[in-house]
């Protein structure tokens, strides 16, 4: 765990230092206004200020120390501490992703089981292709099409942007909640459909394999009813790979957030990252990358622990 | 009607598999009966249909692609093939139990051994949880597992192959079945463990007068343990007889070939005998007698090549399906 | 010679068995055809959509503007296409009729032929490479009558041409799919954009596969300490959310097509490494590997000549999905504005223009590039899934 954590920080730091140019030159601009000597002095002073004159590993150590205290310096564009910006935006992204997760798992698992148990050969194949089509839809296209067709006139079913209407603060609680949910529908849908397609296919594949397993034959030979065999035996074994999928879904959804938040103008961490990259706000970029990595790692750890709880063949020590 | 102590009576069983590449007739016109308390062996090579026959008794054939297309299976007077789903489930694990070849994969890896035995006990007998666990522990002790109280809480992956097979047997006998179907119970185990498991089965049979339908390809086991034997080849029974007569005087050329290929003590020749050729695939059975391409007697005989001999009971009580078996021919048989 | 003629067929090879299984699904074969069509589109793009005519008569003399203006990248793509086609035909021809004992010699012959073609192509390149950019406006020449007998490409627009008079026009007779915000024809940009998408797909997946195979092979074969340390490295790569990492890198490095391919390749190799490592673990204990080791063969020979062909199946399947993924990532990056810079056409970039700066929804700039991305990604995914089922249905759980 700890080494992986350190590894993430090293990767992020290395990228920032490997880039051509450095923050000082960029913040100084072409410098046509000053004469050469003065420019050199200012540059040296700035380098000293940012600690860029020290050797790389010392810079890393300093940076790491600050990161441990959650100090990512200030945003160049907003002139506020990066960590404050992240604190504001993170809950939005987390809410969005969590809701999507719950929906994905709640819908995919029954669908996957049903499609594995159902029998028609043609429906099988057609359903599989449909799921693949759903997975192949690019999220930015879906988002933009939804906005284009559902949000403008004449339909006006959903709002095209933001998380709340403009005068939302004045609403009583339930109305505020309803308004929030109304705004969330399209972004959540865009985040969900791909994960849903993927997970349903995996559940289905896992169930199909497990239903052919020997221990299922034993369970039937004991006289268990069909449902008991499916849920109690086959599904219980299929749960294991489903949890592992959590590990792959997480980073995909973080990445998807960037696109969705940009399209729907939702002020989350994804949008923050997007704006930071566009405006070359390095401190924010590095802060966001590190936090995203840490969150991802946390999610992987949860998945590993869940895995150990569900599969008696794995012991806790080997997981962590 | 149950009479002469016949427990299981299979008549004319036909099972086919409907696949993309064609219809595979895995079991054709199989008939035999198992008495109360006897051990009946069903012998044959891989792919001859013996496992499918065993699975059919409890209607465990996977419906697509397999189907029982004809026949009757009488158990204690009732035709199992006509029972409703609910009724057949009441029979499975309860009056007829089955143990399988691969103990590694036949037990569910995510539940403890005890949980799996308790599951079948609580399903068929109205017992409380604690009582069921006690019975489970007692079953483990009965099958010879040491420290059963500890073992009952363990997972299958914590046990050896032989122990797992004992657990399977414990699970099978926990509801005191009248018939135990053992599908190659020892094939995946070491030779020493094999002997132990077979002795255990003998012991259990003595204690409870349980019938055993033993499926195997190992003739050595058959000679030691079975009273009656049916030899299957390519979806049909080719010889049916009591054990002693089979080994003393095999009637069908296939049985003769099988016995000839067993290595014997004192053998001094250079090469072991093998039956030439290979077992035909169910999708490509030869015409006439299915064994004729490999048969030393019938490979050039016109009748063996075109007309399939049915299983017939001879005067001495044995049954065989071969035109050349002594006493087989009847006056109205086709002559070529 | 006589012995060769006797044994005409050598049974079915692994590749043939996989193909037979693959070809059972007519539906997937159609999509494979679509992919081939895309390839043809990409290769022949300058002939399909170009604002210069094939041939034009100016002052009585015949000129061939398109051919004079082909760029180095056009030539390289033609060359690659010809080499691929020749290789494919050679493989087909030699499939059945070659005694396995001389197959190695045939392989060398194929490689020599390809190298020869490449060399000839490079020489021709130097002869024909344009010395200056041809910015002549042929259309106005035709219109004003200075030139006659011009034969234009089917879509007579260049992807670099801007014409602010016709910006943001919905589909009409002149511009079949409409124009974008600077007046470029959408259909032309879509066709040229296919080059970007396909090349990103292949190069990125090529890079990630090579890295993944090498790391996976070394880890899987070594086991023990090397494997432990290596797996920590792989886990670190897997723990970082890939898209965030790509964006971070894109933020710091200059934008170029090659950078994007490299970045995608460098961040997506972990899956291949895991598959190869798992397969190598299984293969390491097999007898033929022990035999190779005991014969004293060098490590690279054991790993890549003996073990790798057995472990390659999941990598191949993952590669097709990887191409779909790389195309998607490139489109997403271009959509966000982090991809290739205009005027290089990219489907994602056109998509991003779908909502204009004034908030108008320009449906033709959303629908068509989106469909292009969707169909391409879908085609690769479908082919990949059918390939996986053809090679080994048991791969379904892991890949």
b/e C51-71 (16+ beta carbons within 10 angstroms → b): bbbeebebeeeebebbeebbe
Q: Which residues of A touch B65 (CB under 8 A)?
A: none
Q: Which two tokens stand for residue B222?
A: 């058959």
Asked whether the beta carbons of residue C381 and residue A136 sit closer than 8 angstroms, the reply is yes
What was the pLDDT predicted at A246? 77
Q: Which residues of C touch A139 (CB under 8 A)?
A: 332
Q: Which residues of A touch B59 (CB under 8 A)?
A: none
Q: Which residues of A touch C249 (CB under 8 A)?
A: 15
Asked whether the beta carbons of residue C382 and residue A241 sit closer than 8 angstroms, the reply is no
Asked whether the beta carbons of residue A221 and residue B93 sit closer than 8 angstroms, the reply is yes
Tell whether B247 lies on the interface with A, counting CB pairs under 8 A: no
Q: How far is B291 from chain A (nearest CA, A)?
A: 32
Tell whether C355 lies on the interface with A, counting CB pairs under 8 A: yes
What was the pLDDT predicted at A320? 43
Residues C173 and C82: beta-carbon distance below 8 Å? no
User: Please, is B103 exposed, middle or buried when counting C-beta atoms within 10 Å of its C-beta (0-12, 13-18, 19+)?
Assistant: buried
Checking if the pLDDT of B114 tops 80, the result is yes
| Lowest pLDDT segment from B131-135, C146-150, C214-218 | C146-150
Q: How many Å from the N-terminal Cα to the C-terminal Cα in chain B?
A: 41
Q: What whole-number distance in Å separates Cα of residue A191 and Cα of residue A257?
A: 7
Q: Which two tokens stand for residue A20?
A: 């051509």
pLDDT tens digit string along C200-228? 898 899 999 999 999 988 888 887 888 88
B268: pLDDT confidence band, cut at 50, 70 and 90?
A: confident
Tell whether B64 lies on the interface with A, counting CB pairs under 8 A: yes
Q: Which of C235, C250, C328 sits opposite A138 (nearest CB)?
A: C328
Mean pLDDT, to the nearest integer, of C245-251? 81
Q: How many Å from the N-terminal Cα to the C-terminal Cα in chain C?
A: 45
Q: Which of A223, A233, A312 sits opposite B123 (nearest CB)?
A: A223
What was the pLDDT predicted at A31? 53
Asked whether the beta carbons of residue B90 and residue A312 sit closer than 8 angstroms, the reply is no
pLDDT tens digit string along C18-38? 888 888 888 889 999 999 999
What was the pLDDT predicted at B34? 93
Asked whether the beta carbons of residue A147 and residue C355 sit closer than 8 angstroms, the reply is yes
Contacts of A239 (CB under 8 A, 6+ apart): A310
Q: Which residues of B touch A217 (CB under 8 A)?
A: 60, 100, 106
Residues A87 and A267: beta-carbon distance below 8 Å? no
Residues A320 and A305: beta-carbon distance below 8 Å? yes
How many residues belong to chain C? 399
User: CB atoms < 10 A from the CB of C28, how many?
Assistant: 21
| Lowest pLDDT segment from A212-216, C23-27, C71-75, C359-363 | C71-75
| Lowest pLDDT segment from A268-277, C42-51, C224-233 | C42-51
B22: pLDDT confidence band, cut at 50, 70 and 90?
A: confident
Chains near C with 3+ CB pairs less than 8 A apart are: A
What was the pLDDT predicted at C144? 65
SS (H, E, C) chain A: CHHHHHHHHHHHHHHHHHCCCCHHHHHHCCCCCCCHHHHHHHHHHHHHHHCCCCCHHHHHHHHHHHHHCCCCCECCCCCCEHHHHHHHHHHHHHHHHHHHHHHHHHHHHHHHHHHHHCCCHHHHHHHHHHHHHHHHCCHHHHHHHHHHHHHCCCCCCCCCCCCCCCCHHHCCHHHHHHHHHHHHHHHHHHHHHHHHHHHHHHHHHHHHHHHCCHHHHHHHHCCCCHHHHHHHHHHHHHHHHHHHHHHHHHHHHHHHHHHHHHHHCCCCHHHHHHHHHHCCCHHHHHHHHHHHHHHHHHHHHHHHHHHHHHCCCCCHHHHC
Q: Which residues of A touch B58 (CB under 8 A)?
A: 221
Checking if the pLDDT of C370 tops 80, the result is yes
pLDDT tens digit string along B34-87? 999 899 999 988 888 899 999 999 899 888 788 999 999 999 888 999 999 889
Checking if the pLDDT of B30 tops 70, the result is yes
Residues C314 and C280: beta-carbon distance below 8 Å? no
Tell whether C324 lies on the interface with A, counting CB pairs under 8 A: yes
Helices (H) and strands (E) in chain C, counts: 18, 3
> Distance between alpha carbon A263 and the CA centroid of its chain, in Å?
16
How far, CA to CA in Å, does C206 sit from each of C213, C262, C274, C384? Answer: 11, 10, 16, 16
Instruction: Tell me how many residue pairs between chain A and chain C have CB atoms under 8 A apart.
Output: 149
Asked whether the beta carbons of residue C248 and residue A289 sit closer than 8 angstroms, the reply is yes
What was the pLDDT predicted at C4? 43
Q: How far is B106 from chain A (nearest CA, A)?
A: 4
Checking if the pLDDT of C198 tops 60, the result is yes
Q: Which residues of A touch B83 (CB under 8 A)?
A: none
Mean pLDDT, to the nearest integer, of C371-389? 92
Q: Which two tokens stand for residue B139?
A: 């079953």
Asked whether the beta carbons of residue A223 and residue B110 sit closer than 8 angstroms, the reply is no
Asked whether the beta carbons of residue C248 and residue A15 sit closer than 8 angstroms, the reply is yes
What was the pLDDT predicted at C2? 41
Contacts of A103 (CB under 8 A, 6+ apart): A188, A192, A196
Mean pLDDT, to the nearest integer, of C138-163? 66
B2: pLDDT confidence band, cut at 50, 70 and 90?
A: very low
Where chain A has pLDDT below 70, the residues are 1, 19-36, 46, 49-53, 76, 119-122, 152-157, 160, 163-169, 314-320
Place of tokens 């700890």: A2
Q: Which residues of A touch B102 (CB under 8 A)?
A: 214
C394: pLDDT confidence band, cut at 50, 70 and 90?
A: low
What was the pLDDT predicted at A127? 83
């Amino acid at each position: 765990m700890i080494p992986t954590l350190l590894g993430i920080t090293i990767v992020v730091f290395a990228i920032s230092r490997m880039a051509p140019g450095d923050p000082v030159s960029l913040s100084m601009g072409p410098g046509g206004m000053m004469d050469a000597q003065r420019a050199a002095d200012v540059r040296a002073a700035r380098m000293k200020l940012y600690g860029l004159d020290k050797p790389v590993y010392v810079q890393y150590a300093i940076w790491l120390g600050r990161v441990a205290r959650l100090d990512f310096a200030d945003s160049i564009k907003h002139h506020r501490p990066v960590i404050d910006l992240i604190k504001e935006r993170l809950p939005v992204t987390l809410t969005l992703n969590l809701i999507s997760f719950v929906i994905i798992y709640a819908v995919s698992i029954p669908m996957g089981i049903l499609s594995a148990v159902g029998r028609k050969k043609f429906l099988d194949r057609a359903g599989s292709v449909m799921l693949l089509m759903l997975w192949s839809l690019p999220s930015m296209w879906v988002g933009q099409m939804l906005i284009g067709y559902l949000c403008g006139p004449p339909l006006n079913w959903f709002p095209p942007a933001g998380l709340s209407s403009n005068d939302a603060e004045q609403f009583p609680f339930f109305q505020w909640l309803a308004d929030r949910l109304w705004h969330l529908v399209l972004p959540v849908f865009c985040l969900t459909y791909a994960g849903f397609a993927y997970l349903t296919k995996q559940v289905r594949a896992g169930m199909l394999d497990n239903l052919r397993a020997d221990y299922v034959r034993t369970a039937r030979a004991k006289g268990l009813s069909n449902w008991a065999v499916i849920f109690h035996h086959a599904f219980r074994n299929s749960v294991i790979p489903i949890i592992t999928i959590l590990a792959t879904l997480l980073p995909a959804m973080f990445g998807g957030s960037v696109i969705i938040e940009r399209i729907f103008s939702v002020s989350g961490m994804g949008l923050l990252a997007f704006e930071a990259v566009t405006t070359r706000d390095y401190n924010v970029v590095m802060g966001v990358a590190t936090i995203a990595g840490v969150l991802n790692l946390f999610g992987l750890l949860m998945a590993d622990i869940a895995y150990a709880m569900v599969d008696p063949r794995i012991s806790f020590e080997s997981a962590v | 009607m149950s009479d002469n102590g016949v427990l299981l009576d299979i008549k004319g069983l036909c099972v086919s598999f409907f696949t993309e590449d064609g219809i595979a007739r895995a079991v054709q016109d199989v008939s035999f009966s198992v008495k109360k308390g006897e051990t009946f062996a069903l012998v044959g090579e891989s792919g001859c249909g013996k496992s499918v026959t065993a699975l059919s008794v409890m209607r465990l054939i996977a419906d697509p692609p397999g189907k029982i297309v004809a026949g009757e299976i009488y158990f204690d007077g009732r035709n199992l093939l006509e029972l409703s789903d609910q009724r057949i489930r009441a029979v499975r694990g309860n009056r007829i139990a089955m143990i399988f070849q691969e103990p590694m994969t036949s037990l569910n890896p995510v539940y403890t051994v005890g949980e799996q035995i308790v599951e079948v006990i609580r399903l068929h007998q109205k017992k409380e949880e604690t009582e069921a666990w006690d019975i489970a522990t007692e079953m483990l002790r009965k099958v010879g597992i040491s420290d059963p109280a500890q073992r009952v809480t363990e997972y299958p992956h914590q046990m050896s192959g032989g122990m797992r097979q004992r657990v399977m047997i414990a699970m099978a006998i926990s509801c005191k079945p009248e018939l135990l179907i053992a599908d190659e119970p020892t094939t995946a185990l070491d030779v020493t463990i094999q002997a132990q498991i077979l002795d255990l089965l003998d012991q259990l049979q003595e204690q409870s007068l349980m019938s055993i339908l033993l499926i195997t390809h190992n003739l050595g086991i058959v000679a030691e343990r079975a009273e009656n034997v049916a030899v299957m080849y390519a979806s049909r029974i080719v010889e049916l007889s009591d054990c002693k007569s089979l080994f003393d005087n095999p009637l069908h050329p296939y049985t003769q070939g099988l016995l000839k290929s067993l290595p014997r003590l004192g053998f001094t020749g250079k090469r072991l005998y093998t039956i030439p050729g290979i077992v035909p695939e169910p999708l490509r059975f030869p015409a006439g007698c299915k064994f004729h391409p490999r048969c030393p007697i019938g490979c050039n005989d016109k009748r063996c090549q075109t007309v399939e001999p049915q299983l017939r009971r001879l005067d001495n009580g044995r049954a065989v399906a071969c035109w050349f078996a002594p006493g087989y021919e009847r006056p109205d048989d086709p002559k070529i | 010679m006589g012995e060769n003629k006797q044994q005409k067929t050598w049974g079915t090879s692994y590749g043939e068995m996989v193909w037979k299984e693959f070809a059972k699904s007519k539906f997937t074969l159609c999509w494979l055809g679509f992919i081939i069509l895309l390839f043809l589109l990409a290769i022949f793009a300058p002939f399909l959509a170009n604002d210069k005519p094939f041939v034009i008569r100016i002052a009585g003399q015949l000129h061939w503007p398109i051919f004079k203006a082909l760029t180095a990248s056009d030539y390289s793509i033609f060359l690659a296409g010809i080499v691929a086609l020749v290789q494919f035909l050679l493989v087909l021809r030699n499939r059945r009729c070659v005694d396995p004992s001389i197959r190695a010699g045939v392989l060398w012959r194929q490689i020599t032929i390809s190298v020869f073609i490449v060399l000839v192509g490079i020489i021709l390149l130097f002869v024909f490479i344009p010395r200056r950019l041809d910015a002549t406006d042929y259309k106005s020449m035709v219109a004003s009558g200075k030139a006659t007998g011009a034969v234009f490409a089917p879509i007579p627009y260049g992807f670099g041409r801007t014409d602010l008079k016709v910006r943001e026009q919905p589909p009409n007779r002149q511009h079949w799919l409409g124009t974008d915000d600077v007046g470029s024809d959408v259909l032309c940009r879509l066709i040229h954009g296919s080059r970007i998408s396909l090349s990103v797909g292949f190069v990125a997946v090529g890079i990630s596969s090579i890295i993944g195979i090498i790391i996976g092979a070394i880890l899987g074969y070594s086991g023990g300490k090397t494997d432990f340390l290596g797996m920590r490295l792989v886990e670190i790569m897997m723990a970082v959310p890939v898209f965030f990492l790509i964006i971070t890198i894109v933020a710091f490095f200059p934008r170029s097509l090659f950078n994007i391919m490299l970045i995608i390749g460098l961040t997506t190799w972990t899956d291949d490494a895991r598959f190869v490592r798992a397969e190598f673990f299984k293969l390491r204990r097999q007898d033929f590997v022990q035999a190779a080791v005991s014969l004293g063969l060098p490590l690279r020979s054991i790993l890549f000549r003996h073990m790798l062909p057995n472990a390659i199946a999941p990598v191949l399947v993952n590669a097709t999905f990887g191409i779909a993924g790389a195309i998607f990532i490139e489109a997403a990056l271009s959509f966000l504005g982090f991809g290739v810079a205009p005027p290089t056409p990219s489907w994602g970039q056109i998509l991003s223009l779908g909502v204009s700066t004034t908030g108008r929804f320009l449906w033709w700039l959303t629908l068509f590039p989106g469909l292009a991305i969707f169909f391409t990604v879908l085609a690769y995914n479908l082919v990949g899934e059918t390939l996986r089922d053809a090679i080994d249905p048991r791969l379904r759980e892991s890949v």
